[in-house]
């Protein structure tokens, strides 16, 4: 958004020169700067730097010229050079921090802005610095946001010049936008003055095809099918503007020394509001106001200032009418706002006049700049801002139903200026950006929410039987697997000849898979799909199947066969149940619940180090502590006994290494009784 005058308003930019002229008066560069001829001023200041003339201040002026023409990212190195050179300007450190942020150097920006917040003398900028520092720190969270949007450049429209601020004319379905592609150059930044252009797409949904023409030609012809301007489709060399019906001999909209942009139309297409600058002859720079024109008698009326809306001390720009045409939203730099540019609204009365503008308040407006409001067909308000947490410069935001302002995230937003949204439907529309990779300083992009890629979860499992002697397994055919969801719903599936089964699962759900067979320990496995849906960019297809493996192994119950309970650890010389041990004992509790017809002995063993009596007592206390824990979980006392073996039953009789001693220090259980029915 290099061209500020209509796109973002450069109100007050000439004040930068105060106190910075050389001792001999204004230099040639200073005079260019003062007249708002920033592009030529930059070259003159650079020449001064090359000559070693007033280096620090010249670098500062270059930085300021880039800033006020909205090229803050190019200002960074010049602010740094000015500060390193000892420039005497107390606000320079603040703007240097903003330039760092504009270049994606968020940590450096936060540090610089925090320093200014501590030492700055400009109270308004100190408040902004505090907020901007917090915004810079919030960027990692924004980068982590996943937005299912796709962004496509409208390259049949975009040129090397600035192209921005699109809208759809309701009655003719033409896309109207601003461009500096033709005509006289604006001395503020060396680009062409912005004028309105139109295109009617061959395919409106995809926004492809069609021929770009100056809107003057389209408006006077009364149809988008008027003869195109000379040149290839999408490049639009300008055709001479047709005269209004009254034959005034003057072009209606494309005044050569003025900017026009941000057209918006009433629902019937008969009223047009747009932003237009003056020619710079009165104020020394191009201030911006809102104008209105009406389509009457087959032509547009001469544009006139909207009464009661414009402020003579400010720029008023980026107008947009609500879908019902009754409310006009716009941006203004007028006094009395939150700071920078604020958003305002005004309603259209029965007398066809707009009411006194109303500031949208501090939930939307910030000490930074809020520009380019837009109202979606469903009434949702969108806008651009560099005051809310964003990626560096202007980002696009949406006002949620709760009133909260939400960043639209990447890929819609970037480290560049992303602005001027226009919603053509739910989650689809056009916006403008000067992000890297475009054709010019500003380009138009289409965005739409991509169709959500869907995921279906399946559990693919097997039921295996384990041989008690050899430890080998084999598939079990025709076994019943009971699947229980978290809400208690049950489903049974049968295994096939190869012991396998497959069942569909819900997303964000948990399940328990259980296989039960007489004479075997019940096999159980818990499965969850909560949080398991991959990110959209990791899914290959519109429909994606994700399988979750399940293996249920049925172990033969053998009386008096010791089974080690893994990972039961105690603190030195203690028998309290630690949290990690409790987790493992809970598994044994589940085994007893799943197998109600067995009774067990739970035993504890020590290594051979220490006295026999001490080890015997300690192991008994540990075994009893574990049994007491299991009983506390609801297992009947009669089904479990505690037995401490001390060092009398080692796995490795002549243990020498620490690993061997560890194997001897163990907790086991064995089935002592199988009741009838097992």
Nearest in space to 320 (alpha carbons), one of 350, 294, 346, 283: 346
What is the 3 state secondary structure string of 62-105?
HHHHHHHCCCHHHHHHHHHHHHHCCCCCCCHHHHHHHHHHHCCC
10-residue mean pLDDT profile of the chain (678 residues): values are 43 34 68 90 95 94 93 94 94 95 92 94 90 90 80 94 95 93 82 91 89 80 41 36 38 79 95 90 74 92 93 94 96 92 94 93 94 96 94 92 93 93 93 92 93 92 92 94 95 97 95 94 95 88 95 94 86 84 92 94 92 94 95 96 94 90 91 76
Give the pLDDT of residue 380.
Answer: 96
Helix axes 92-102, 123-143, angle to 10 degrees: 10
**In the chain, what are the domain boundaries?**
4-143, 155-449, 454-555, 563-674
Same fold, 4-143 and 155-449: no
- Architecture, CATH, for domain 155-449: 6 Propeller (2.120)
What is the 3 state secondary structure string of 486-550?
CCCCEEEEECCCCCEEEEEECCCCEEEEEECCCCECCEEEEEECCCCCCCHHHCCCCEEEEEEEE
CA atoms within 13 A on the CB side of 490: 5
* Domain 4-143: CATH superfamily, name plus number: Tetratricopeptide repeat domain (1.25.40.10)
* Domain 563-674: CATH superfamily, name plus number: OmpA-like domain (3.30.1330.60)
Give the pLDDT of residue 251.
Answer: 55
Three-class SS state of 372: strand
Give the pLDDT of residue 252.
Answer: 65
Q: Which conformational region is residue 62 in: left (phi greater than 0), alpha (psi within -120 to 50 degrees), or beta?
A: alpha
CATH hierarchy code of domain 454-555? 2.60.40.10
* Distances in whole angstroms, Cα of residue 415 to Cα of each of 7, 143, 186, 419, 423: 18, 11, 26, 12, 22
CB 218 within 8 A of CB 211: no
């Amino acid at each position: 958004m290099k061209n500020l005058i209509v796109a973002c308003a450069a109100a007050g930019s000439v004040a930068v020169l105060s106190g910075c002229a050389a001792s001999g008066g204004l230099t040639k560069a200073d005079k260019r700067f003062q007249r708002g001829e920033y592009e030529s001023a930059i070259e003159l200041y650079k020449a001064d730097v090359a000559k070693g003339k007033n280096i620090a201040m010249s670098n500062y002026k270059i930085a300021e010229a880039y800033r006020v023409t909205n090229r803050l990212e190019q200002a960074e190195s010049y602010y740094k050079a000015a500060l390193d050179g000892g420039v005497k300007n107390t606000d320079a450190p603040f703007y240097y921090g903003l330039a760092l942020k504009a270049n994606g150097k968020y940590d450096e920006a936060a540090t610089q802005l925090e320093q200014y917040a501590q030492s700055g003398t400009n109270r308004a900028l100190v408040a902004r610095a505090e907020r901007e520092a917090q915004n810079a720190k919030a960027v990692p969270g924004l980068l982590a946001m996943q937005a299912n949007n796709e962004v496509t450049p409208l390259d049949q429209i975009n040129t090397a010049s600035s192209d921005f601020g699109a809208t759809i004319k309701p009655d003719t379905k033409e896309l109207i936008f601003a461009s500096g592609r033709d005509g006289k150059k604006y001395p503020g930044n060396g680009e062409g003055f912005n004028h309105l252009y139109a295109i009617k797409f061959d395919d409106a949904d995809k926004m492809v095809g069609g021929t770009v023409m100056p809107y003057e030609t389209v408006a006077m012809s009364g149809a988008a099918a008027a003869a195109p301007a000379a040149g290839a489709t999408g490049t639009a060399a300008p055709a001479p503007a047709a005269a209004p019906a009254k034959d005034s001999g003057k072009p209606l909209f494309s005044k050569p020394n003025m900017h026009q942009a941000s057209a918006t139309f009433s629902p019937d297409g008969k009223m047009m509001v747009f932003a237009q600058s003056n020619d710079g002859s009165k104020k020394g720079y191009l201030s911006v106001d809102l104008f209105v024109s009406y389509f009457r008698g087959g032509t547009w009326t001469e544009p006139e200032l909207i009464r009661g809306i414009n402020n003579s001390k400010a720029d008023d720009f980026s107008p947009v009418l609500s879908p019902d045409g009754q409310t006009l939203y716009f941006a203004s730099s007028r006094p009395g706002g939150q700071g920078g540019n604020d958003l305002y609204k005004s309603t259209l009365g029965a007398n066809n006049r707009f009411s006194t503008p109303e500031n949208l308040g501090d939930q939307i407006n910030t000490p930074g700049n809020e520009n380019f409001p837009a109202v979606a067909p469903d009434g949702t308000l969108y806008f651009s801002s560099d005051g809310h947490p964003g990626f560096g410069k202007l980002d696009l935001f949406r006002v949620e139903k709760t009133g909260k302002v939400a960043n639209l995230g990447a890929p819609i937003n970037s480290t560049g200026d992303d602005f001027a949204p226009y919603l053509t439907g739910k989650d689809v529309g056009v916006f403008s950006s000067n992000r890297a990779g475009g054709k010019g300083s500003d380009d138009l992009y289409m965005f739409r929410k991509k169709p959500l890629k869907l995921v279906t979860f399946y559990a693919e499992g097997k039921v295996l039987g384990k041989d008690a002697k050899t430890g080998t397994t084999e598939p079990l055919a025709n076994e019943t697997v009971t699947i229980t969801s978290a809400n208690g719903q049950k489903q049974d599936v049968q295994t096939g000849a190869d012991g396998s089964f497959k069942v569909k699962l819900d997303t964000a759900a948990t399940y328990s898979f259980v296989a039960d067979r007489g004479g075997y320990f019940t096999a159980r496995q818990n499965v969850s799909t909560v949080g398991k849906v991959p990110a959209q960019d990791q899914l290959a297809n519109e429909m994606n199947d994700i399988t979750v493996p399940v293996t249920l192994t049925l172990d033969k119950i053998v009386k008096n066969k010791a089974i080690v309970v893994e990972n039961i650890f105690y603190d030195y010389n203690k028998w309290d149940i630690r949290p990690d041990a409790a987790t493992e004992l809970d598994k044994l509790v589940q085994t007893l619940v799943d197998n109600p017809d067995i009774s067990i002995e739970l035993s504890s063993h020590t290594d051979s180090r220490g006295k026999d009596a001490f080890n015997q007592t300690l192991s008994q206390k540990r075994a009893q502590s574990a049994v007491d824990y299991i009983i506390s979980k609801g297992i009947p006392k009669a089904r479990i006994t505690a037995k401490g073996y001390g060092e009398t039953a080692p796995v490795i009789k002549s243990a020498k290494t620490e690993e061997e001693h560890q194997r001897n220090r163990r907790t086991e259980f064995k089935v002592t009784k199988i009741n009838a029915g097992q």
